[in-house]
Amino acid sequence: MPGLIRGMARTAVIAGTATSVSNRVSRRQYNRWSQQDEQQQAAQVPAPSEPAPPAAAPASAGDDRIAKLQQLGDLHNQGILTDEEFAAEKAKILNS
């Protein structure tokens, strides 16, 4: 019987050590992946650009609306405006 208990104790120690090492490796790998994700996201964020210079005075109200819609589309394509913001502003311009 003492041999059986000794064998169970040895197995428990080995299993506990393996679990501890595995958890430590998993945490280390997770931290590495998190850092890589942050670096990739930082690289993907576009640098803030200077605001567009004011457009020349349009010939008519229709030209002004088109220019505003084009600027709005550019902001949306750059990711500055969300889909909801884009739709709301577009509706304002078209209804004015």
pTM recorded for the entire structure: 0.37
Residue type, 75: L
Separation CA 70–CA 77 (nearest Å)? 10
Q: 1 vs 17, which has greater pLDDT? A: 17
Q: Could you tell me the pLDDT band of residue 1, with boundaries at 50, 70 and 90? A: low
Domain chopping of the chain, boundaries: 1-44, 61-95
Separation CA 84–CA 20 (nearest Å)? 48
pLDDT tens for 37-87 read 888 887 776 656 666 666 555 456 667 888 888 898 898 898 888 899 989
pLDDT of residue 58: 47
pLDDT tens for 7-24 read 888 888 888 888 888 888
pLDDT of residue 60: 61
